[in-house]
Structure 1
C-alpha cells in the first residue's frame, strides 16, 4: 500500500485514479477536504476496496502515526498543500500551516515509522515530496530554464512556503537518512482542476458568458504540463529515482498567459460556439497581482536522462482533452462553484477591474 496525501485535490486525485488504473496496489488516501479537495473527483472509485479514504489533516500527528501503524505503507506520495498564489497573498497563514507545519509533521511521523522497519521493508520505503517550479523565482526572457541546481528565490507567500517544505525534506534526508525524493513541476492543467486556476477559470467563465480576466498585459510566461504526464513522471521517480535527489518535471510548453486564453477561446468556438460571438470578445485586462513572476520554464532533461521520462502530450493535444473533459462534466463544474467560490472570485478579481 502507498499513502497519498491530498489525494482528493486536482493532481492528487488524478494520480490516485491513474495509479489504480495501472496497478492493484492499494492507496491510503488522506485529505482534509478543504475548498479544493473534492470527493467527486474520486467518484469512480466508490466501492473499490483498493482505495481507502481518510478525512484528516496532515498536521494531526496522532492521526498520521495511527495510519502508519495500522496500514504500514511502503511509500508516501505527498501532494497535500495550499497552492494558489492569489489566496496566499490574501491569507498567508494557511499556507505556512499546511505547507510548512504539515510537511514537518508528516516527515516526523514518517521518520518515526521508518525507524521501526527492518530489512527489505526499510530498504524499499520512500517519501516522495511533490513541489513546484515557483520556488526558483522568476526568469528573464532570455534566461535558461530552471535546472535542479538553480538557487531558490521564492517571490510569493505560496512559493516561500513550498520552498521551506522542500528544505525540510532535504534536511530530513541529510540529517536522519530518511529516503526522500522531490519533484518540482511546472503549471499543471487537465481534468478536475479547481476553477480558480487560469485554464479552468477561462473555460467556466467563457461558457457562462462572463469576463475572462487577464492579469496585466497577459505576457507572463509559464511552462504547461498535462496532469496525466505529471502523474506518469511521479510514478517513475517513485520507482527508480535516486534517493535524496530532486527531479524537475516540465511539459516543454512555454506560453504566455494571453496565448493560453486565446487558445481556450478558439477551441470553445469550435466545440461549443456561442451565438453571441467569438469567446475572445470576453477577454478583460485587470490589474496585475502583486509580485507577479514574469516567466517560469523547466529544464526537464535530468528526469529524461536518468529515468527515460518525457511528456506524452503536446500542449495542443492536452488542452483539447482538457476542454473536452470540462464540456462533458458540467455537473462537476457546477457543484464546485459554490457560494464560497463565487465570493472568492469576486474578492480577487472584482478589486482588479482595469
Structure 2
C-alpha cells in the first residue's frame, strides 16, 4: 500500500503541475510571447496562459496599482525594467528560483535567481537604406547635419528599452546629447513596433530602436539595415521574475525554465533575439560578437528632464 500511495501521490503531483492557469504580465512583443506560449502548451496541454501585454511603463503601473489595492494578479513578470524588479526584491516580493538549468550562465540570474534573463536584446541604430546614404558608426554620429529631420526613437514613458536609451546615453554623454538631437528634429513615437513600421515606410531615415524588431521587419522585405555602434550597442535588461504573491508558483517556475529550453531558445533566435544558452543558434545575419553597453534605466529626475525637453507628459 505504501508504494501505491507514493505512486498515486507522484501521479497527482505531476497532474497538478501540468494543469492550471498562469497569468503573465509582459511588455514583450505579443506575437513573440504567443509563439512561446503555444510551444509551452504543446508540452503542457492542460495549462491555460493568460497574457496582459502593454508597454513597460503601463505594465509597471498596473502592478503598482494592484499592489496598492492588495490584489496583485500576475504569476510571472517579464518586462524591461530591472530597477522595478530590484524594488520588489528589496521588499521580499520576488521568489528566488535557483538557476538549475544545465549550462545556464549564472550571471544572468542575479541574486541567486531572483530574476532571470532568458534572451538578449540590444538597442541599436536602424536605417532606411532608401533615405540614408552614409550610415553612422557611433552614437554621436546621429548629430550629423545630414540626419536632420530624419531621426526618431520610442517614448521612454511607454517603452522600457527607450527608458534604457535615455538612462544609458544620458549618463554617458549628458542630457545635452538629447537636447542636440531635439534641435536636429528627433521625434518620439510611442513604441518600437510603431517606430519600426514607420522607418520601414520611409517616414524616418534613422531610428534608435531594438535589434530584434529590425530583424523582423527586414525578414518581411523592408529596406532596412542595422548598425551596432562601435562604441557599444545598449544591452537592455529584460528579465523574467516569479512574484511572491503568485497563485501558481510551480507552474510559473516551469514556464521560466521552459524559456531556457532548446525549443524556446530556438524560437528566440528565429524571432531575432540572441539566446542566452550556450550552443543555441544566433539570429540569422546577426554578428557573432557585439560590443555592448550595459543598459541603465533613466531615473525619475532624468525622465522628467527628457519629458520637459520633448513636451511629453506621463
Q: Same fold, TM exceeding 0.5?
A: no
Please, what TM-score do these two structures have when normalized by structure 1? 0.30
Structure number with bigger Rg? 2
